[in-house]
Amino acid sequence: MSGYRHPRSSALDCILSSFQMTNETVNIWTHFLPTWYFLWRFSVLCTSLDFLTDSYTWPLLVYMLLICLYPFTSSCAHTFSSMSAEARHICYFFDYGALSLYSLGCAITYGSYAMPDRWVNSWLHQHFVTIGVANSLFCTSMSCYSRFVELQFPHKSKILRTAAFIVPFLFDSFPLFYRLLSCCWGSCSPSEALASHSYHLLFAFLTCFLFASHLPERLAPGRFDYIGHSHQLFHVCAVVGTHFQMEAVLTDMASRKDWLTSHSSLPSFPATVGVLVLGVLLNLGIIGIFSAGLPRTPRQSTSAHLHQE
């Protein structure tokens, strides 16, 4: 309800605002600082793994690039979204695109390292990444479209945006759900990877809950404008969940290497880095189409929205 920046701020004003207390300041830093954490982890992995010639590491390479990209893009979106109504939309178009690419990175990584033993070489395993690409395009398209109906139908917009991210998350997580349920039924032995996957899923559900519920600010409007509102908590849960996901992926990658390499083919460059490049190009095309459509939408209000993205 308060703490908004001027809706026609300059780029310099936006940067300086990240060092002032507004209702976006914590949003900016809760994703900017984790970007450097993930970059540090990536740099450490670069010293111990051969990302250039070892094809088994290529899915991890794609994943690490994307978990560095999505928090940085989000931080930039929150920083520069107050330059104009059009800039606000475009900033969040790129934010949504980065998140959908992250979902594609999860599909590539899970398909390579986290697939249940019984599913390896199955139809789902063979088409897992292809479906991940389709989910990524669906996610970007639906979330960008949701901004076009936001002013007239805010509730519908929220539903569309939430569904856009739930669909790829649920699909990517199917292998994890199966592995966890198998352990609950006693047909597998607990592992460090499954523990980390469990923590990741827990924080993922918390992230979704906070995004959809707008707690705690809906219980005390105005009390959490600067610190403690749901979008800030949503950022923190998302990053912590990604940390546990990264640890689980690294554990699966190391502990299952011998079995996976002997029962399935090694990841190929087109199926990993090539898919990432294709996903980037297609998502940029979608963002370009929606950005070009902005002038043809009803004139946007220059006042700041009274809700978080």
Provide the residue-wise pLDDT of the chain in tens; the chain has 309 residues: 999 999 999 999 999 999 999 999 999 999 999 999 999 999 999 999 999 999 999 999 999 999 999 999 999 999 999 999 999 999 999 999 999 999 999 999 999 999 999 999 999 999 999 999 999 999 999 999 999 999 899 999 999 999 999 999 999 999 999 999 988 777 666 678 999 999 999 999 999 999 999 999 999 999 999 999 999 999 999 999 999 999 999 999 999 999 999 999 999 999 999 999 999 999 999 999 999 999 654 444 444 444 445
Say how far apart CA 113 and CA 261 lie, in whole Å: 10
**How high is the pLDDT of residue 187?**
65
Say how far apart CA 45 and CA 304 lie, in whole Å: 42
Question: What is the DSSP code string of 85-143?
Answer: HHHHHHHHHHHHHHHHHHHHHHHHHIIIII--GGGTTSHHHHHHHHHHHHHHHHHHHHH
Within the chain, what is the greatest distance between any pair of CA atoms?
A: 59
**How high is the pLDDT of residue 192?**
84
Amino acid at position 103, single letter = S
DSSP-based three-state secondary structure for 151? coil
**How high is the pLDDT of residue 183?**
85
**How high is the pLDDT of residue 259?**
95
Say how far apart CA 273 and CA 60 lie, in whole Å: 10
**How high is the pLDDT of residue 304?**
41
Which value, to the nearest 10 degrees, does the dihedral of the CA atoms of residues 244, 272, 77, 134 take? -100
Query: Which residue in the block uniquely carries the two structure tokens 């475009």?
Result: 90
**How high is the pLDDT of residue 178?**
94
- Secondary structure tally for the chain: helices H, strands E: 10, 0
CA angle 248, 56, 269 (to 5 degrees): 120
- The reply to whether 6 sits in an annotated binding site is no
**How high is the pLDDT of residue 185?**
78
pTM of the model: 0.93
Say how far apart CA 104 and CA 110 lie, in whole Å: 10
Spans of all domains in the chain: 11-293
In the chain, the N- to C-terminal Cα span, in Å, equals 14
Residues 6+ apart with CB under 8 A from 125: 111, 115, 119, 264
- The reply to whether 231 sits in an annotated binding site is yes
- The reply to whether 155 sits in an annotated binding site is no
Best CA proximity match to 121, nearest among 270, 264, 271, 262:
264
Question: What is the DSSP code string of 35-79?
Answer: HHHHHHHHHHHHHHS-TTT-GGGHHHHHHHHHHHHHHHHHHHHHH
What distances in angstroms separate CA 40 from CA 51, 99, 294, one per listed residue?
Answer: 16, 20, 38
